[in-house]
């Protein structure tokens, strides 16, 4: 049961450590990070979602709704992509630590001895007297 809960929470943990942010240097970001998807706004305001983007010379290429698209890098106004986010990762780790600390605190009394309290997922905390 615990394994199932952990496996169910794994996607949440993976998304807690990334965010969609602007790419500062697309020509370096694409080859090094190899993102699966980027969002590009070109100079005329058109927005494109490009899957499997690559950089060839000074041109960004990728798939847009199944069609191969090539955009010169000088036409790219802004590019967004999923990137690691240190702040979200720190908040996630702090949250998990707080929850673990609460569970340990709740399951023990002030002397550190086990209080006999147990957690039942269906009804919550139960402390026999």
pLDDT per residue rounded down to tens, the chain (129 residues):
456 665 666 666 666 677 888 998 888 999 998 999 999 999 888 999 999 999 999 999 999 998 999 999 999 999 999 888 788 778 888 888 888 888 777 777 555 555 667 777 777 777 776
| pTM listed for this prediction | 0.61
- Cβ–Cβ < 8 Å for 61, 70: yes
Q: Is 68 exposed, middle or buried (0-12, 13-18, 19+ CB in 10 A)?
A: exposed
Residue 6, SS3 per DSSP: helix
- 18-83 carries CATH number 2.30.30.100: yes
Alpha helix ranges (H) inside 1-129: 2-16, 26-33, 86-107
């Amino acid at each position: 049961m615990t394994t199932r809960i952990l496996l169910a929470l794994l996607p949440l943990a993976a998304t807690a450590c990334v965010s969609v942010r602007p790419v500062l240097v697309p020509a370096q970001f694409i080859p090094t990070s190899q993102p699966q998807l980027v969002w590009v706004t070109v100079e005329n305001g058109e927005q494109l979602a490009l899957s499997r983007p690559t950089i060839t010379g000074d041109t960004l290429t990728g798939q847009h709704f199944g069609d191969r698209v090539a955009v010169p890098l000088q036409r790219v106004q802004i590019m967004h992509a999923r990137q690691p986010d240190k702040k979200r990762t720190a908040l996630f780790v702090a949250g998990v630590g707080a929850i673990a600390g609460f569970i340990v605190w709740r399951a023990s009394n002030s002397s550190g001895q086990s209080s006999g309290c147990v957690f039942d997922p269906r009804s919550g905390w139960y402390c026999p007297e």
